[in-house]
Structure 1
Amino acid sequence: MEDRLGPMPFAAMSAAQQVAAQAVIDGPRGALYGPFVPLIRSPELMAAAQKMGEYLRYRSAIGTRLTELAILVTARQWNQQVEWAIHAPIARDYGIGEAVIAAIAARERPAFVLEDEALVYDFCLQLHQRQRVDDATYAAALAAFGEHGVVDLMGINGYYTFLAMVMNAAQTPAPSSTAAPLSV
């Protein structure tokens, strides 16, 4: 597949694009990569997206381990190779087990050891596949994470779906990774 919206040299960017790109480069990501490569074509959209993503990825109310799990479920639902290549190793580093990651990649329900991981998985899968969350799962998530955490979990699913749509349409190539590519 051809990368439809590949990297742009910084010098070729408009002033607005340079400002938006520099904000990403100066932030916790440290570089313009992944979804921000195609998004730079719309600097205001990219700036808004990266600000939301910075919060959801690095400071969500459910914590980094569960955030990374939600990202993997979303990446799998959208067959999103870039997000999988980036986030499967990060999820592993934050304590998501290799068996859980492999099961998600295979579209199988993992044999969870931790209840909070099973809850996040169920919540995310229902939201993606049914476009809603059943009462029992919602109540369990509310009890475990509070309203703030539940809203952040919904936001993580929505944000990473947005990124998946952008990169799937742009045909953004996955970076090299220790994670095996998703089968599609």
Structure 2
Amino acid sequence: MTDRLGPIPFAQMSASQQVAAQAVIDGPRGALYGPFVPLIRSPELMSAAQRMGEYLRYRSALGTRLTELAILVTARQWSQQVEWAIHAPIAREYGIAEATIAAIAERRQPVGLPADEALVLEFCLQLHQQQRVDDATYAAALAAFGEHGVVDLMGINGYYTFLAMVMNAAQTAVPGTDAPLLPD
């Protein structure tokens, strides 16, 4: 598979691309990689997306552990290898069990999840697979995370779906990593 929208050397970027790229490089990501490689072709879109992503990834009301779990569910739903390669190790680092990560990768139902992880998993799966969340799951998420947390959870699913669509269409190359890739 050929990377359709591969990296552009910084010196060959337009002035607006350089400004947008430098903002990503100077932020918590520290480099222009993953979805930002194809998105740099639209600097204003990339800038807006990276600001949203910076909030959702680093400061969401759910905290990093549950945010990373939601990202993994989204990556699996879209078979998005770059998201998976980047976020599976982060999820592991923040306490998502290896067995949970493996089950999600293999499209199996994880067992023995903490209640908050089980709720996030169910919410995300319903949102992706049914395009809605049933009343009982929504009420449970609202009780557990409040309105702010529920909106952030919806935002994480939507944002990482957007990135998955971009990278799947652009055939973005998976960065060098020791993380196992998603099975077909």
Q: CA RMSD in A?
A: 0.5
Aligned partner of 2:160 in structure 1 is 160
Answer yes or no: is 1:119 the counterpart of 2:106. Answer: no
Aligned partner of 1:65 in structure 2 is 65
CA distance in 2, matches of 1:151, 1:176: 33
CA distance in 2, matches of 1:182, 1:91: 15
- Give % identity: 83
Runs of at least 5 residues in structure 2 that lack an aligned partner in the other structure: none
CA distance in 2, matches of 1:170, 1:112: 37
Aligned partner of 1:140 in structure 2 is 140
CA distance in 2, matches of 1:33, 1:181: 17
TM-score normalised by structure 2 residue count: 0.99
Aligned partner of 2:56 in structure 1 is 56
TM-score normalised by structure 1 residue count: 0.99
CA distance in 1, matches of 2:34, 2:116: 28
Give 1:176 shift.
Answer: 2.1
CA displacement, residues 65-84 of structure 1 (integer Å, 9 cap, x when unaligned): 00000000000000000000
CA distance in 2, matches of 1:103, 1:92: 13
Runs of 4+ in 1 over 6 A off after TM superposition: none
Runs of at least 5 residues in structure 1 that lack an aligned partner in the other structure: none
CA distance in 2, matches of 1:127, 1:176: 31
Superposition pairs of residues 1-184 of structure 1, within 5 angstroms: 1-184=1-184
How many matched pairs?
Answer: 184
CA distance in 2, matches of 1:75, 1:112: 22
CA displacement, residues 44-91 of structure 1 (integer Å, 9 cap, x when unaligned): 000000000000000000000000000000000000000000000000
Give 1:175 shift.
Answer: 1.1
CA displacement, residues 104-139 of structure 1 (integer Å, 9 cap, x when unaligned): 000001013300000000000000000000000000
Give 1:32 shift.
Answer: 0.1
